[in-house]
């Protein structure tokens, strides 16, 4: 179909796969809108999913009719396909050649509000899995009807976590443990404030990763393990045996003023979170290097207040 000569429908495809875009559902908003009533929850959930579906269709429809000439490297020279000049890309938008993503965020807060428990609690876990399954079922339903490859995706939510958290506070005020932070928990992740060891976390999250086929990554927060490579290998082996995709979150910071190369700290200054060198007190961001997992890629660009609060709250899992 892409004139690459190496694609067979129905078989896994590595060359030229692409994504048409993502729209993310704010799961805590669904829960809070239901005021804790389960029947209402599933009704509102379906309404919101349909809204996401319509928004995804806007992205898809916007791409329909695009000529390969719009981006020759992508469509003509082989990055995504080898179409002819003047040819429309439309056929690549159907039949599984490319995907389109239903994203989701805040499964933890959603479950916590509806059940009063974290989704790691055996009593709340079935509901959490049901929510995940329902989003997968919707993707399958849309896909069957439209021949567009909808897939459920754990949105990285890099700065959007703050936007979603502020929207929740605006709509529902401060609800303890649900909307009282500047961030919400990424995708299916265990809440960053929850005490849990690395192995239990990875094992638990692997059950959810299976239900996030459009994209997922799990992390464990670790201290400096340069002198304990045996432990690093142990975790790596556990990841290999138990979960599709996971990583160790390490810290790699440097203070340009005093040469300190340990962990730069986040401290509160008059209600604002700022980065500070624990060695010399330097707070000038242009004179320090900080690298942190941003819940997608590792970033070094400093973050909005919500994501910074989330980074500050992270407990160590080892
Ligand atoms: Zn310093």
What digits encode the pLDDT tens for the residues 221-279? 999 898 999 999 999 999 999 999 999 998 889 999 999 999 999 999 999 999 999 99
Token pair recorded at residue 117: 């428990």
**Residue 282 pLDDT greater than 90, yes or no:** yes
- Please give the C-alpha separations between residue 180 and each of 164, 184, 186, 233, 236, in angstroms, as whole numbers: 12, 9, 16, 37, 34
Looking only at the bridges linking them, the beta strands covering 246-249 and 218-221 are parallel
pLDDT at 12: 72
Whole-number Å distance, alpha carbon 296 to ligand 1 midpoint, is 28
pLDDT at 267: 97
pLDDT at 8: 75
Of the pLDDT bands very low, low, confident and very high (cuts 50, 70, 90), residue 99 is: very high
pLDDT at 17: 84
Average pLDDT over residues 6-19: 77
**Residue 297 pLDDT greater than 90, yes or no:** no
**Residue 180 pLDDT greater than 90, yes or no:** yes
Whole-number Å distance, alpha carbon 280 to ligand 1 midpoint, is 4
Distance between CA atoms of 135 and 275, rounded to whole angstroms?
Answer: 38
User: Of the given ranges (11-20, 124-133, 152-161), which has the lowest mean pLDDT?
Assistant: 11-20
Task: Name the average pLDDT for the chain.
Answer: 95
Best CA proximity match to 99, nearest among 152, 176, 137, 34: 152
Distance between CA atoms of 300 and 302, rounded to whole angstroms?
Answer: 6
Locate all alpha helices (DSSP H) within 65-106, ordered by sequence: 72-75
Distance between CA atoms of 164 and 106, rounded to whole angstroms?
Answer: 9
pLDDT at 137: 98
Ion ligand 1: residues, CB within 5 A, are: 255, 257-258, 260, 277, 279-280, 282
Those residues whose C-beta lies under 8 Å from the C-beta of residue 190, and which sit 6 or more positions away, are: 108, 118, 119, 120, 196, 201, 204, 205
pLDDT at 6: 65
Whole-number Å distance, alpha carbon 251 to ligand 1 midpoint, is 16
Between these two residues, 44 and 294, which has the higher pLDDT value?
44
Whole-number Å distance, alpha carbon 225 to ligand 1 midpoint, is 22
Average pLDDT over residues 33-61: 98
Looking only at the bridges linking them, the beta strands covering 292-293 and 298-299 are antiparallel
Q: What percent of the chain has pLDDT over 90?
A: 89
Residue 206 has phi, psi (to 5 degrees) of -60, -30
Whole-number Å distance, alpha carbon 287 to ligand 1 midpoint, is 9
């Amino acid at each position: 179909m892409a004139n690459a000569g190496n694609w067979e429908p129905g078989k896994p495809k590595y060359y030229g796969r692409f994504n048409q875009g993502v729209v993310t559902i704010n799961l805590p908003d669904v829960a809070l809108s239901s005021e804790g009533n389960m029947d209402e929850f599933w009704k509102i959930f379906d309404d919101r999913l349909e809204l996401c579906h319509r928004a995804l269709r806007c992205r898809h429809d916007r791409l329909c009719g695009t000529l390969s000439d719009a981006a020759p490297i992508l469509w003509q020279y082989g990055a995504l396909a080898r179409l002819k000049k003047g040819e429309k890309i439309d056929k690549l938008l159907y039949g599984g050649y490319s995907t389109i993503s239903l994203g989701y965020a805040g499964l933890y807060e959603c479950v916590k509000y509806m059940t009063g428990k974290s989704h790691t609690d055996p009593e709340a876990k079935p509901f959490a899995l049901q929510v995940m399954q329902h989003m997968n079922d919707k993707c399958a339903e849309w896909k069957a009807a439209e021949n567009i490859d909808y897939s459920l995706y754990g949105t990285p939510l890099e700065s959007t976590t703050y936007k979603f958290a502020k929207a929740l506070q605006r709509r529902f005020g401060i609800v303890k443990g649900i909307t009282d932070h500047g961030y919400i928990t990424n995708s299916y992740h265990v809440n960053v404030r929850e005490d849990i060891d690395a192995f239990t976390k990875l094992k638990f999250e692997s059950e959810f990763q299976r239900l996030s086929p459009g994209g997922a990554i799990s992390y464990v927060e670790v201290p400096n393990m340069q002198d304990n490579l045996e432990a690093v290998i142990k975790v790596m082996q556990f990841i290999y045996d138990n979960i599709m995709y996971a990583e160790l979150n390490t810290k790699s910071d440097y203070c340009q003023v005093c040469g300190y190369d340990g962990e730069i700290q986040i401290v509160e200054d008059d209600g604002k979170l700022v980065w500070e060198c624990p060695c010399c007190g330097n707070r000038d961001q242009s004179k320090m290097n900080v690298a942190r997992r941003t819940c997608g890629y590792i970033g070094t660009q400093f973050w909005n207040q919500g994501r910074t609060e989330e980074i500050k709250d992270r407990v160590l899992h080892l």
